[in-house]
Amino acid sequence: MPFQAAVPRLCRAAAAALVVLVLVVAPASARADATLDEAQRLIAARESRQAYALLLPLEPQRAGDPRFDYLLALAAIDAGEPERAVFALERVLAVEPDNLQARAEIARAYFLLGERQSAQREFEAVRTQPVPDEVRSTIDRYLSALAPEPRGWRAYAEATLGYDSNINVATARSTIALPGAGGSIGVLAPSAVQQGSGFAGAAAGGSAVLPLSSRWALVASASAAGKWNFSGGEFDSITLDGSVGARWREGAHTVQAGWIGQAFRLDNQPYRNVTGAVVQWQWAVASTTEVSAFGQFARLTYPAPGQEIRDANRTVGGLAVAHGFGGAREPTAFASVYAGSERTLDAAYAYLGYTPIGVRIGGQLRLPAQILGFAGASYEHRRYDDEYPLFLTTREDNQLDFRVGVTWRFARDWSLTPSVLYTRNDSNIDLFAYTRTLVGVTVRRDF
């Protein structure tokens, strides 16, 4: 298991499993103290930041009290302050060198700080002691994550059947008023009016990691996806994606950067190519929370004759947060915000470029019988850069997307996912306003 990817998952397990160790071996002689009792209650209620704020001002007076130092360390780890936790736990171990829960927690703090050898030493010391099986299992997962990352690859293949109410992403109107043409009414060609169709889809892809050191690795991925409509074959599509780059990780931080490319074909003809660079930073802030920042620059080119006016540079950046709530169902939630620009290379066609601003939210919940439920929503506002000639106004769009579904893992490495995606794009120009509902069932095999 990659060290950085293991941080949030292992810390969630530790928050529950290492508490078992506290209950089993905690000294019965711990003296009653209202402040420490309240801090312990807050930590148990997953309100560690409040516990940390309660205890930190008392550190100059109470440092050296093993119970105080231990609770301060627990709160500090979950509040994203593992370095302070190490100092507090070192004080505990100076007084109580056989305190297993303190030794387990200092191992976890070393893990978050990226001090791999120290973390491994402390975890192995605890593992040799008579601890509950749940704690031993959690420690084994940490030790597995601390092992050198092996060369590895992952791959998948999937097939989909479904129905798409708007295969050409078009308005449902057949006539449009054209203020730029003296107010005349334009009649749209059939291909420019919303069409629905059943479809079949297929996709396959994979990723690979080549470690160069304990911190550095080369990463690469590639995928291909196709969608074939039962009617309206001119809107069949094939998408090819690829990326290659490098990843650096230290403690709770990971930075990945590299090259990305995409080729999109419509009706088996080249439609759009994308090349660019992307960078992403991830930080495991606390045991159940991860934040990230990302940026991307890409050149979009349209190779079809007459479409070069759409060639553009696209830049996007944003922030995201993911949080796991723990518990039997392990619910998780995520949210992100982003903004950017897409500017046409030819200033004469600036009305095709725009500024996007968006937000995404979603989550997932484990259900009985190996079923995972998920839902998500997104909103994007787009303001275009110039007046659209035929409509004598500057285009503005507001797009909403909703997706819901479940994934059933019916066998090892096999899953079945029925899902529904609904899109509504409102525009001040009727030609670009549309709705779309896509219903599908996907069967997937992971390798």
158-201 pLDDT tens trace: 999 999 999 999 999 999 999 988 889 999 999 999 999 999 99
Q: What is the pLDDT of residue 147?
A: 65
Q: What is the pLDDT of residue 129?
A: 82
- Sign of the alpha-carbon torsion through 59, 64, 67, 72: positive
Q: What is the pLDDT of residue 343?
A: 97
From 134-138, 366-370, 410-414, 443-447, the region with the lowest mean pLDDT? 134-138
Is the model's pLDDT at 404 over the cut of 70? yes
- The token duo for 155 is 């791959």
Q: Which domains does the chain have, with CATH numbers?
A: 3-146 (1.25.40.10), 152-446 (2.40.160.60)
Top mean pLDDT of 91-105, 123-137, 276-290, 336-350 is at 336-350
Q: What is the pLDDT of residue 26?
A: 43
Averaged pLDDT, 428-439: 97
Q: Identify the CA nearest to 154 among candidates 205, 204, 206, 203.
A: 206
Is the model's pLDDT at 398 over the cut of 80? yes
- Sign of the alpha-carbon torsion through 422, 427, 432, 433: positive
Averaged pLDDT, 343-364: 97
Rg (alpha carbons) of the chain, rounded to whole number: 27
Cβ contacts of 103 within 8 Å, gap of 6 or more? 93, 122, 125, 126
Residue 410 and residue 398: Cα distance in Å, rounded?
39
Residue 170 and residue 398: Cα distance in Å, rounded?
15
Residue 102 and residue 66: Cα distance in Å, rounded?
9
From 132-141, 182-191, 301-310, 316-325, the region with the lowest mean pLDDT? 132-141
Cβ contacts of 122 within 8 Å, gap of 6 or more? 103, 104, 106, 107, 110
% of the chain residues with pLDDT over 70: 89
Averaged pLDDT, 277-299: 91
